[in-house]
Each structure stands twice: as structure tokens, then as C-alpha cells.
Amino acid sequence: MTHAIDVEGLERHFGAFKAVRGVSFHVEQGEIFGYLGANGAGKSTTIRILCGLLPPSGGKATVAGHDVGTDSEGVRLSVGYMSQKFSLYPDLTAFENLDFFGGAYRLQRAPRRRRARELMIEVGLDPDDRALTAAMPGGMRQRVALAAALLHEPRIVFLDEPTAGVDPVARRVFWRTIRRVADAGVTIFVTTHYMDEAEYCNRVGLMVDGALVALDTPSRLKETYVPGVTYEVRGERITPKWLRHLPGVTRIEPFGTGLHVGGDDTLCKEAIENELGKVGARGVSVESIQPTLEDVFLAVVTRKAPA
């Protein structure tokens, strides 16, 4: 059975530089697939290949049954794509923009206008607002771009950092829409820098320097890469070197103003408190926490493989 997206040994080189290196994965129809990685890891390049906008240098990928190398037109007609650099016509309203994009997809006038209105309401916009998109704040423009990517009812949607710069309340609206669309059987391929959003994905792939170094459900990634216990440790001018040699400690990462300290099951709160007491650390608090995907990400990026 073909998957919504099938990728095998995908490569993309820019001159001597390898932006995507031997990436293989598949995405099931209706799955929300998160693609994470630092800036420059190769996420947007992968998306552009999978949307039929950039030819691969090697390997093979099929999207909605179309080969990206030989049938990029078929791919483009089957997918929705919200790019990081989407552009709206500044001298049109949001509704007029959507009406225009719908026309470009050759959707008939009455159904495309009905769908544009429905989508605008879904993403929290007023279809009758006469404001031009030039005057719209970035987060509102991103809502229009999301609606535009969904307009022609694609079976697969690629969202490249759809919520970058969007406030937390609006991010919830985005994700409510994304989940509703996925519940209707549409496949979502999404990149994000917000690790809390990655938790909403069925599976998550982690890219480092063009390579896919980990791929699994959020809970299995945590079991694999940050097993054992995790403590959030805070205190005045606290530094990893104070705890590095404590028995049972397996990882320490700076996290906000504190540290996330991971260890095997022998590591307890009291041992950390005692150790910090010995070096005279002040204002110490130690809390047992559930690891986040950010812990996974940091563990993968610094280690690149499970211990």
C-alpha cells in the first residue's frame, strides 16, 4: 500500500553543500507528522522537494502517489503548501486574496467563495472585514495563508513554521484547525520551533545537519532519548559543573534560568539538594518533572544517538 508520503534516500545538494542527506521516512494518510530541527537543518528544503518545487539531487519521493522527480505538476496539484515566505496581495482584503487563490486553482466561483468564508471563520477571521492585508498584523496574515493552503481541499498539506511569530492564543486556533483537518483524513506535514506544538503530532522526525536522526511518537522519543528521571533544578547562578559528577546523573542541559538534570532511577531529589548544599548554592529548588520534547531535542542534537 502506498503511503501519503514515501521518501527513500532523499538528497539535495547546493554545489558541494548537502542540505538533505539520505533521508528516508513515510507518512500515513491522516497523520500529523512533525519535522523538527535547528535553523538550517534542511526542513524547508525537504518540504520544497516534497511539494514539487525543487528537484531532488538523489533518492526518491512520492507524494499522493506522484513521483516528485518525474511528476512535479501532479504533486503540486495534490498538495496544499504554506511556506515561510508566503505572499498575499497587499491591496486586496483577506477574502479577496482567498477568492483569487481559489480562482488560480480553477475552483468554481460560488463554491470557492463559500469555502473561503468557511475557512476564514474556522481560523478566526471575519470574511466581511474590508481591511487590506497590507495593514494586517503578521499573525492575521498567517491565518489567511493557512486558509489559502486549505482552500482547494488538498489531501496532503505542508505547513512550514505556520505559527512562527504568532501569539499563544492564536497558536491554539491554528492547532484546532490543523487537528480538525487531520481528523477529516488529511495528512499534515508541519515544521515548528515550538516544542509544545510538536507534542500534538502523531510522530516527530528530528533533523540534524540534513540527516534525519530520530523518528518516532513523542512518547517513544522520550523513552528512548531521555529515559529515567528528570529534575528541574533552580538556584542562584547555578551551573552544570556542580552536578556533573553526581552518581546517577546522565545528562544536564541549561533550561531557561535553571537546569534540566536527567539520571537513572537511583538519582533522587535529596542527592541533588545535598550536592548543591556542599558548594553553597543559594535559593535552590529541585522538582521532579516529565521530560519534554525539548529535552529530547537537546539530547539528540548533543548526542545524535541513544546512549
Ligand X SMILES: Nc1ncnc2c1ncn2[C@@H]1O[C@H](COP(=O)(O)OP(=O)(O)OP(=O)(O)O)[C@@H](O)[C@H]1O
Contacting residues toward ligand X, per CB under 6 A = 14, 17, 19, 37, 39-45
Block residue for cell numbers 534540566: 260
Eight-class DSSP state of 93: B
How many Cβ atoms sit within 10 Å of the Cβ of residue 232?
15
Q: Which residue, 172 or 193, is less far from ligand X as judged by CB?
A: 193
3-state secondary structure 33-69: EEEEECCCCCHHHHHHHHCCCCCCCEEEEEECCEECC
CB of 138 to ligand X, least distance (A): 16
* DSSP annotation string for 239-285: -GGGTTTSTTEEEEEEETTEEEEEE-TT--HHHHHHHHHHTT--S-E
What's the CA gap between 71 and 65, in Å, rounded?
A: 10
Q: How far is the CB of 251 from ligand X (least distance, A)?
A: 24
Pick 120 or 215: Cβ nearer ligand X? 215
| Least Å from the CB of residue 241 to ligand X | 31
Q: How far is the CB of 48 from ligand X (least distance, A)?
A: 8
Minimal distance, residue 246 CB to ligand X, in Å: 35
Collect all residues with Cβ–Cβ distance below 8 Å to 245 and sequence separation of at least 6: none
Q: Which is nearer to ligand X, 40 or 165 (CB)?
A: 40
For ligand X, the closer CB: 107 or 212: 212
Q: At closest approach, how far in Å is the CB of 135 from ligand X?
A: 27
The 3-state DSSP class for residue 122 equals helix
Residue 232: strand pairing partners: 260, 287
Nearer to ligand X, 93 or 192 (CB): 192
98 versus 293: smaller Cβ distance to ligand X: 293
